[in-house]
Amino acid sequence: MTNPSLLILPGDGIGPEVMAEVRKIIDWFGAKRGIVFDVSEDLVGGAAYDAHGTPLHDDTMAKAQAADAVLLGAVGGPKYDALDFSVKPERGLLRLRKEMDLFSNLRPAQCFDALSDFSSLKKDVVAGLDIMIVRELTSGVYFGEPRGIFKEGNERVGINTQRYTESEIARVARSAFELAMRRDKKLCSMEKANVMESGILWREVVTEVSKEYPEVELSHMYADAGAMQLTRWPKQFDVIVTDNLFGDLLSDLAAMLTGSLGMLPSASLGAPMANGRPKALYEPVHGSAPDIAGQGKANPIACILSFAMALRYSFDQGEEAARLEAAIEHVLADGVRTADLMGPDGGTPVSTSGMGDAILAALDASL
């Protein structure tokens, strides 16, 4: 039996630094838990442009299509600002998403108790928060036609088209229902059915798909009301499913409930492969942070949590994912802090590698 394959794309800025800590975690699972991956590494973003003149080489794209999962660090930086739009580092990430057809974007918003004071909301509102936003990633207003800036009479007009097919809505809805079945069996669908025909269709299709999942409690909410409720009492939600535009907005709002972008992972999932696993790309929400790159200041937790998501959703290792998440929670509870997590109450300051080592020690203690 062959080992599952994992393609690592560290990328730019702090990407290689945080990914180095993930590699240590991967090695630990191989040595201590017998969970071994065939790991390969390649270039993406600015690093790929520097080497090949393109943000994603065709060979790398082929490796990504063949891998059981892809783990990406971060792309971009001011060094590449003057490049033509077609070869900017971010185009490499967009190509991966498009050609792998990654239509379901999972954005967890989890607030560890030790970091609840970092949120702008009251501690009792966010402490213990653990919700998941499922954002449709490949259609909607960002991709609909017609689009562009046109001349009408004496003035210009900008046009973007919100467009969804039944099948596009149904497949992301099923992804959300499957996720809800693995959690608290509660799903809230958000759209604007009160003013948008696409929202009416969205609500109708999600309701139809819900008949396949009678155990899941389905509710509907207008997206603007959802934003208000996320800031009023976010713990009323478990899984939220929504379209590309609203998902973009709501997931960023939910991210800030937790207090630090350095803590947030994400997963982008596609259709099942021959082995039954979905095509998948895992990445931290944060950017390449070129201002601190190479200084050992980066927080690797979001990237490590992205690997935890890979364990859970690509490799059926939910218990081991929980072990890794518990180790991170233990380290934070002990006051271990990278620079972005240092608050008024202080803590034990550590470097990027120091945080990785602390999580390894906590994993050892879990055995």
Single-letter code of the amino acid located at 258 = T
Q: Is 252 in the active site?
A: yes
Closest to 136 in 3D by CA, of 102, 187, 87: 102
DSSP state of 56: S
Q: Is 49 in the active site?
A: no
DSSP letters for 134-174: EEE-SSGGGTEEEEEEEEETTEEEEEEE----HHHHHHHHH
DSSP letters for 320-345: HHHHHHHHHHHHHHTTEE-GGG-BTT
Q: What angle do CA 282, 284, 285 make, to 5 degrees?
A: 120
Which contiguous run of DSSP H or E holds residue 105?
strand 104-110
Which contiguous run of DSSP H or E holds residue 69?
strand 69-74
Closest to 110 in 3D by CA, of 305, 281, 311: 305
DSSP letters for 187-219: EEEEE-TTT-HHHHHHHHHHHHHHTT-TTSEEE
Catalytic residue among 101, 224, 334, 357: 224
Catalytic residue among 24, 142, 235, 297: 142
Compute the distance between CA of residue 4 and CA of residue 29 in angstroms, rounded to an integer.
13
Catalytic residue among 101, 113, 117, 252: 252
Q: Is 248 in the active site?
A: yes
DSSP letters for 208-268: HHHTT-TTSEEEEEEHHHHHHHHHH-GGG-SEEEE-HHHHHHHHHHHHHHSS-GGG-EEEE
Compute the distance between CA of residue 302 and CA of residue 294 in angstroms, rounded to an integer.
18
Compute the distance between CA of residue 168 and CA of residue 243 in angstroms, rounded to an integer.
10
Beta bridge partners of 159: 148
Catalytic residue among 42, 88, 192, 313: 192
Catalytic residue among 42, 238, 243, 248: 248
- Residues identified as active-site: 142, 192, 224, 248, 252
